[in-house]
Amino acid sequence: MFRNNIKYQTLKLNKGDFLFYQSADVERLFLLEKGRIKLVRETVEGQSLVMHIAYSQETFAEASFFSQVYHCHAICDSACTVFSFAKTEVAQYLQDSPNAMMELLKTYAQQVRSLRLLNEIKSINSAYERVLTFFASEVDENFELHFSYSLKDMARRLGLAHETFYRILKTLEQEGKIVRYAQFIKMRPLHKYG
């Protein structure tokens, strides 16, 4: 998004490292290049609530752009590579570049749509139907779902144990509904299912 136009720092973090803490001043914005980061909010009662899990190639904690402090912790759930941008430089760049602002709004609108759809899909009781619906909603015009994270992470996104998810993948392959490749899944068009 801004990577080609704004200076950034590349951070290499280990599982368990904190990228930022709840209530810390917001000075940086982030893009997760590789890995998995949990956004965890500490409640007044001392409970830890996982608000979101960010995966490779995603921005996260976007609301902090309009806040003085972070409203949660960002904790690495695996080894991570993070691009870190100065908030003031991002703000200046967006003010100077209406096209970049529109591109950012488009990206955020797509993320909101994806999160809403994912929440809807996670409410499907049947794990088989949940996976099939997810694939059908995410494939491109060539019926391919390209992903930059692991299949284990895909299972987590869908709220499934990875063993259950792998079993369903095997079933879908045996039924001829999908073909698995290294970084994408090819799906047969739904209307061809018999």
Q: Is the pTM for the entire model greater than 0.95?
A: no
- Residues for the chain: how many in total? 194
Q: Is the pLDDT of residue 1 over 70?
A: no
Give the angle 170-171-173 at the CA atoms, nearest 5°. 65
Query: pLDDT band at residue 45, thresholds of 50, 70 and 90?
Result: confident
Query: pLDDT band at residue 21, thresholds of 50, 70 and 90?
Result: very high
pLDDT recorded at residue 2: 64
Architecture of domain 124-192: Orthogonal Bundle (1.10)
Query: pLDDT band at residue 190, thresholds of 50, 70 and 90?
Result: low
CA nearest neighbour of 3 among 66, 68, 78, 59: 59
Q: Where are the domains of the chain?
A: 9-97, 124-192
**Using CA atoms, how far apart are residues 35 and 165, in angstroms rounded to an integer?**
20
Question: Angle 98-122/127-138 helices, nearest 10 degrees?
Answer: 160
pLDDT in tens, 133-173: 999 998 999 999 988 778 888 888 898 999 999 999 999 99
Query: What fold, for 9-97?
Result: Jelly Rolls (2.60.120)
